[in-house]
Amino acid sequence: MNISQAAKATGLPAKTLRYYEEIGLVSPERRPNGYRDYSETTVHTLRFLARARALGFGIEDCRSLLALWADKSRASANVRRIAQDHLSEIERKIAALTDMRATLQHLVNTCAGDDRPECPILQGLAQPQCGAEDTSALRK
Amino acid sequence: MNISQAAKATGLPAKTLRYYEEIGLVSPERRPNGYRDYSETTVHTLRFLARARALGFGIEDCRSLLALWADKSRASANVRRIAQDHLSEIERKIAALTDMRATLQHLVNTCAGDDRPECPILQGLAQPQCGAEDTSALRK
DNA sequence: CCTTGACCTTCCAGTGACAGGAGACCTTAT
DNA sequence: ATAAGGTCTCCTGTCACTGGAAGGTCAAGG
């Protein structure tokens, strides 16, 4: 299977398939002409990766999950730990975004949004007591 | 005011203050010895930036907001539009994360998390019907 | 005067997970 | 023979910083 067919089969862009090979997540065969040749097994792995990424797992988590998936004598506790940590991270992000939304929503609601210059949004940004102070939860 | 004092006054790392100068968001004076010298005005601008960033505005949005803040004849509609667009973006991210959380929560709940290899999380990732399929809302 | 230590400066590299594009090679159809 | 389209590698850019190296500056103490 060519790269563009594998892309279609997995829903991932061809660029991403090359990238996943570069960082060692998958290892498709090569044809004599140098073209990548994706087997059903490799496509299966790619679909696993696509779903893990869709759930927000980082690449390194994906690498760990793939290793556990391949390890028939794994302990499910190890899988669960990764998922639970990631879930906590997601909850932290949701909390941070929810705080932002509350503050922004309030500012937007109180702004006339017409052709006059008075603007509670700018006032809120210029004053100290405007709400959220820390975005670190979103960056990490 | 030296850079480390301005950092303390704004809550931003000194590295970030240098970065903001590099990209033209602020322009502190320079002392004869080459040290940056932050005025109260500049610190005020930096605090404005810190709050806008804490609300999740991107750097280019911050640049626009600063320009509107400085423009006494602005129309508040222009400020509101930026804030509303950003708010919509935040809501999209919250929705995407909430979907992820639901799926992950379910998987984590059904996983024993002991020393046995059976694992509904890995099964869920290996099967098609696992939930969220698209993370693009988080990347952009 | 000299040294120590705490500042400050610039410049360069790295982050995560790709996306875009250049230039060249390969395949298939006409 | 040629044109179109697929594929290859390699390089750069994204976003908002963060870390570190190499070197200049300043105030205090001996």
Residue pLDDT, tens place only, A19-40: 999 999 999 999 999 999 999 9
Inter-chain touch B101–A108, beta carbons under 8 Å:
no
Q: Which residue of A has its CA nearest to B120?
A: A76
Q: Which residue of A has its CA nearest to B53?
A: A135
Q: From the list A83, A97, A111, which residue is nearest B108 (CB)?
A: A83
User: Which residue is listed with tokens 């998390």?
Assistant: B113
CA of A6 to C1' of C12 (A): 39
- The C-alpha torsion from B91 through B92 and B95 to B100, rounded to 10°, is -140
**What sign for the dihedral angle of Cα B60, B84, A91, A78?**
negative
Nearest nucleotide to B3 (CA to C1') is C8
Cα(B90)–Cα(A132) distance, integer angstroms:
14
Nearest nucleotide to A50 (CA to C1') is C17
pLDDT (average), residues A64-77: 97
Inter-chain touch B77–A103, beta carbons under 8 Å:
no
Closest to B134 in 3D by CA, of A117, A35, A51? A51
A131 lies within 8 A of chain B by CB: yes
Asked if pLDDT for residue A80 goes beyond 90, the answer is: yes
- Residues with Cβ within 8 Å of B115's Cβ and at least 6 positions away in sequence, in order, are A75, A76, A77
Average pLDDT, chain A: 92
The amino acid at residue B43 is V
Q: Which residues of chain B have pLDDT under 50?
A: 130, 132, 137-140
pLDDT at res. B139: 47
pLDDT at res. B136: 53
Chain A segment 40-99 residues within 8 A of B by beta carbon are 44, 47-48, 51-56, 65, 68-69, 71-77, 79-81, 83-84, 86-87, 90-91, 93-94, 97-98
Q: Is B105 within 8 Å of A95 (Cβ atoms)?
A: no
Asked if pLDDT for residue A137 goes beyond 90, the answer is: no
pLDDT (average), residues A99-113: 96
Residue A56: CB less than 7 A from any atom in strand C: no
pLDDT at res. A127: 84
Q: B93 vs chain A: nearest CA distance in angstroms?
A: 8
Asked if pLDDT for residue A136 goes beyond 70, the answer is: no
pLDDT (average), residues A70-76: 97
pLDDT at res. A134: 55
Residues of chain B in contact with residue A138, where contact means CB-CB under 8 angstroms, are 56
pLDDT tens per residue across span B61-87: 999 999 999 999 999 999 999 999 999
User: Residues in chain A, how many?
Assistant: 140
- Residues with Cβ within 8 Å of B139's Cβ and at least 6 positions away in sequence, in order, are none
B24 lies within 8 A of chain A by CB: no
Asked if pLDDT for residue A101 goes beyond 70, the answer is: yes
The beta-strand segments (E) located in B3-114 are 29-30, 36-37
On the CB side of A89, CA atoms within 13 Å amount to 16
pLDDT at res. A140: 44
Residue predicted with more confidence, A56 or A137: A56
Asked if pLDDT for residue A89 goes beyond 80, the answer is: yes
Q: Read off the pLDDT band of A84 (50, 70, 90).
A: very high
Asked if pLDDT for residue A49 goes beyond 70, the answer is: yes
pLDDT at res. B129: 62
pLDDT at res. B134: 55
Cα(B52)–Cα(A127) distance, integer angstroms:
11
Write the DSSP string, A57-95. --HHHHHHHHHHHH-TT--HHHHHHHHHHHHHHHHHHHH
CA of B54 to C1' of D17 (A): 14
pLDDT at res. B140: 43
Q: Is B63 within 8 Å of B49 (Cβ atoms)?
A: no
Q: What are the Cα distances from residue B15, in Å, to B1, B18, B88?
A: 16, 5, 30
Residue percentage of chain A with pLDDT more than 90: 90
